[in-house]
Homo-oligomer: A and B are copies of this chain.
Amino acid sequence: MSGAIERPRRRSFAADEIARLLEGRLDASAGAEIPPAVDGVGDLASAGALDVAVVFDAVRGETARASDAGLLVAPAGVELGARAVVRVGNPRAALVVLLELFHPRERRAPGVEVGARVAPGARLGEGVFVAAGATVEDGASLGCGVEIHAGAVVGRGVEIGDESILHPNVVVHSGTRLGARVEIHAGSVIGRPGFGYLREDDGRQRRIPQVGRVEIEDDVEVGALCAIDRATLGVTRIRRGTKIDNLVQIAHNSDIGEDCCLAAQVGVSGSVEVGARSVLLGQVGVADHSRLAPETIVGAQSGVVGRVGPGEWIGYPAIPAPLARRAYGLLAKLPELFRELRRLRRAVDEPSSRDAG
């Protein structure tokens, strides 16, 4: 049925099957009972007898020993008593495998729902889903398996690659191209004309038409309620594999490198270059025309101006992290510093007052 949700079947796996899938070793020493099967993954606090749960490190050992989980997954060396445990090298990677195993992605069944507004000139690949209430304008092109959810708007001539998903109420303006497996979360606005004005002699601001493009490459994920503006001329580009959290702003003509990670509420001004594999933590701001080297990490709330990185940078303006940590830590000692300085000044300038002070 068009638009129906394909529910995954309930899945169940034996403990040794779990061990094999995690490339781990099933350990039931100390007389532990091995559950016949598990059919879910939970956190240590809420998992039950039919669930597997992951212990990241020894700090969580006590919580783990108190957990009702039927099967634990843990790195070597975490003491868990008489429990069925799959020992693994990387428990976080194991959690991802388990989550994917028990919660495979749900995809919408193909079809254009009644109430979807698809222009006659739009091209739809195999297996496309368009929800009721979504709009696909003339000349737009949707690759195979693309999902366009309720209230989303795909502007004239927009190209969207295979298996990409626009969640509800996403707006993709004309002049945008999305690669394959791009996911844009609810409410985001891609490709609105960038923010550029010329202040005239009478103080009024004249709009600089923004006629460039936005290109979002393969495997990019954009969070909810983000704004990525089209370029004045040329391209605003988000390169392959970059992940962007909610409420992020990316201004015209910026270029975000491959496999970057931008946390929530980050703001990137115009004509910025962010090197590959860089990480911008929450609420970071980047001034226009800044350049971040590949593999730069910018601490939360920091303000980047000019050329920074590689390595970790922090502060307002951002400076290398070791220095910033010392400097901002000393901020709280400024009152003490000023008192001490006054005392020294008296001691130096009026040596006679010294004993009296």
Contact A224 B317 (CB under 8 A): no
Distance from A274 Cβ to chain B, minimum over Cβ atoms (Å)? 14
Does A77 touch B at the CB level, under 8 Å? no
Any B CB within 8 A of the CB of A56 = no
Interface string of A33-54 (1 = CB under 8 A from B): 0000000011101100000000
Across the interface, which residues of B come within 8 angstroms of A264, CB to CB?
Answer: 195, 227, 249, 251, 267, 269
Determine whether the beta carbon of B245 is less than 8 Å from that of A247: no
> Does B332 contact A331, Cβ atoms closer than 8 Å?
no
Q: A316 vs B302: C-alpha distance in the bound complex, in angstroms? A: 10
Say yes or no: is A246 at the interface (Cβ < 8 Å to chain B).
yes
A129 to chain B, nearest CB (A): 14
Give chain B residues whose Cβ lies under 8 Å from the Cβ of A131.
135
A348 interfacial contact with B, CB 8 Å: yes
Which residues between 175 and 216 of chain A lie within 8 Å of chain B, taking CB atoms? 185-187, 189, 192, 195, 197-198, 203-209, 211
Does A237 belong to the interface (CB within 8 Å)? no
Whether the pair A345, B340 counts as a contact (CB closer than 8 A) is: yes
Report A264-320 residues with CB < 8 Å from chain B CB.
264-265, 267, 269, 276-277, 282-283, 285, 287, 300-301, 303, 315-317, 319
Residue of A186, A198, A326 with most chain B CB atoms under a 10 A cut-off:
A186
**How far, in angstroms, from A225 to B188 measured CA to CA in the complex?**
8
If A334-B327, A337-B338 touch, whether A265 touches B249 (CB-CB below 8 Å) is yes
Supposing A151-B169, A249-B265, A300-B287 touch, asked if A224 and B328 sit within 8 A by C-beta, the answer is no
Which residues on the B side are within 8 Å of A243 (C-beta)? 195, 197, 205
**A347 interface residue (CB < 8 Å to B):** yes
Structural contact, B156 and A153, CB atoms closer than 8 A:
no
Q: Mark A327-354, 1 if CB is under 8 A from B, else 0.
A: 1101111110110110011011100000
The smallest C-beta distance from A148 to any residue of chain B, in angstroms, reads 12
Q: Does A25 contact B (CB under 8 A)?
A: no
Given A5-B156, A168-B171, A150–B135 Cβ distance below 8 Å? Answer: yes
CA distance A198 to B122 in the complex (A): 37
Can you name 6 extra interface pairs (CB under 8 A) apart from A149-B153, A265-B285? A46-B233, A99-B233, A205-B243, A247-B249, A316-B328, A344-B344
User: Nearest 3 pairs between A and B by C-beta?
Assistant: A227-B246, A99-B209, A189-B224
Report which A residues bind B (CB closer than 8 A): 5, 41-43, 45-46, 92-93, 95-96, 99-100, 102-103, 105, 115, 117, 131-133, 135, 138, 149-151, 153, 156, 167-169, 171, 173, 185-187, 189, 192, 195, 197-198, 203-209, 211, 219, 221, 223-225, 227, 229, 232-234, 241, 243, 245-247, 249, 251, 258-259, 261, 263-265, 267, 269, 276-277, 282-283, 285, 287, 300-301, 303, 315-317, 319, 323-324, 326-328, 330-335, 337-338, 340-341, 344-345, 347-349
